[in-house]
Amino acid sequence: MKKRKVAVLGATGTVGQRFISLLAGHPWFELVALTGSGRSVGQRYGDAVHWLLPADVPEGVADMPVLPTDGPIDAEICFSALPTEAAAEHEAALAKRGHHVFTNASVHRMDGDVPLLLAEVNFPHVRALERQRRERGWSGSIVANGNCTAIHLDLALAPLHRGFGIERAVVTTMQALSGASYPGVPSLDALDNVVPYIGGEEEKVVAEANKVLGTWDGSAVVPAGIPMSVHCNRVTVRDGHTETVSLTLRGAPAVDEVKASLRAFRGRPQELGLPTAPARPVIVRDEPDRPQPVLDRDADKGMATTVGRVREDVVLGVKFVLLGHNTIRGAAGASVLNAELLVAERCI
């Protein structure tokens, strides 16, 4: 197919850099524009960015100019890594001008006409775009991906909710420092410490999980209505969010049934063989000490969720540990996969 022209908004930040690394050499997308703010505008990208990823800035990207986000952008698809205030200012304006915005920002996630899309889980929610274009009059669109914690949680919950039904859930997270963006948590707060509070995170996880796992009724998303208790903590891990999950499932399925459901889970991205799709969205490990961030966060190029320690819970029914890369599948990778899916399904 002819490559679609794409831009990265907020290109100098951590998630912006992940977008660039995922789009370099992409078979469907051609990166033609980068935007930023303040003193970075007008600079050569290689001079404006403090590059934080292990590999070098992709060839050809370092010489690209940093453009203002409110100026003309010669790209059909815009991947947004904008901070909250900038996303609120620019994303709707870009959609109105005809751009298709795939955003990692939280501003529009809970809007009734914006799909909070997790590519393997809730593709029917893209029908919200019809309402979005009809009611707002946009020639473009906005599609949001979820919070980095909720994305990996929802990948594990989706097959269990479909297969059995989740009656209640208790989740405790141990979230990596990179989830706070660069430079993140001050070193004297992070070292030798666990920070048991991430502002707004617990509420986001509950609301977003219930929207993603909800159903499209023909005009709106009906939330799943799963009672969830969530505790969020920041820990001294660079990348990779770990979550412990306890669930009550209808019918009290055996542990082996739960594992089989997780292992069998596939979605539309796998059926279509999308370029960024993991072969298995959920990888189940049987070792007693897995998953671990240093060993499992890069599973399937950081696009899979790894689940381990699946066992009986005498209080709720079943429990397990999950882990996923927070800036790849938990952020930029989720948006890229969403865009691939909508292109493949001729939605944009």
The rounded percent of the chain whose pLDDT value lies above 70 is 100
Q: By the 8 A CB rule, do 271 and 245 touch?
A: no
Q: What is the pTM of this model?
A: 0.97
Q: Summarize the confidence of residues 63-73 as an average pLDDT.
A: 97
Distance (Å, rounded) from C-alpha 256 to C-alpha 75? 48
Q: State the pLDDT confidence band at 130, using cuts at 50, 70 and 90.
A: very high
Q: What is the mean pLDDT of residues 186-200?
A: 95
- CATH node for 4-147+332-344: 3.40.50.720
What mean pLDDT comes out for the span 17-21? 98
- 314, containing H or E segment: none
Residue 347 is among the residues annotated as catalytic for this protein: no
Q: How far is residue 124's CA from residue 116's CA, in Å, rounded to a whole number?
A: 11
Nearest to 333 by CA among 263, 270, 278: 278
Annotation says 148 is catalytic: yes
Mean pLDDT of 303-321: 98
- The percent of residues above 90 in pLDDT, for the chain, comes to 98
What one-character DSSP code corresponds to residue 123?
Answer: G
- If one counts every other C-beta atom within 10 angstroms of the C-beta of residue 283, the result is 22
SS3 259: helix
> CATH topology of 4-147+332-344 equal to that of 148-325?
no
Other C-beta atoms within 10 Å of 315: how many? 8
Rounded CA-CA distance 225/191 in Å is 38
pLDDT band with cut points at 50, 70 and 90 for residue 152: very high
Confidence of residue 320 (pLDDT cuts 50, 70, 90): very high
Give the list of residues 6+ apart from residue 239 with CB closer than 8 angstroms, or none.
Answer: 176, 178, 293, 297, 325, 326, 327
pLDDT tens digits, one per residue of 218-275: 999 999 999 999 999 999 999 999 999 999 999 999 999 999 999 999 999 999 999 9
- Local structure of residue 287 (DSSP, 8 states): S
Instruction: Return the biggest CA–CA distance within the chain.
Output: 60
CATH topology of domain 148-325: Dihydrodipicolinate Reductase; domain 2 (3.30.360)
Q: Provide the pLDDT confidence category of residue 182 given band limits of 50, 70 and 90.
A: confident
Question: Does the pLDDT of residue 1 top 80, yes or no?
Answer: no
Is the peptide bond preceding residue 183 cis, with omega within 30 degrees of 0? yes
Q: Which of 99, 108, 152, 241 is catalytic?
A: 241
Within 10 A of 227 (CB to CB), how many other CB atoms are there?
A: 12
pLDDT of 74 above 90: yes
- Give SS3 for 227: coil
- Choose the catalytic residue: 108, 148, 232, 325: 148
Q: Any idea what the Cα angle at residue 341 is, between residues 73 and 323, rounded to 5°?
A: 105
- What are 237-250's pLDDT values in tens digits? 999 999 999 999 99
Each domain of the chain, given as residue ranges in start order, spans: 4-147+332-344, 148-325
Averaged pLDDT score across all residues of the chain: 97
pLDDT (mean) for 147-164: 98
Q: At 8, which amino acid appears?
A: V
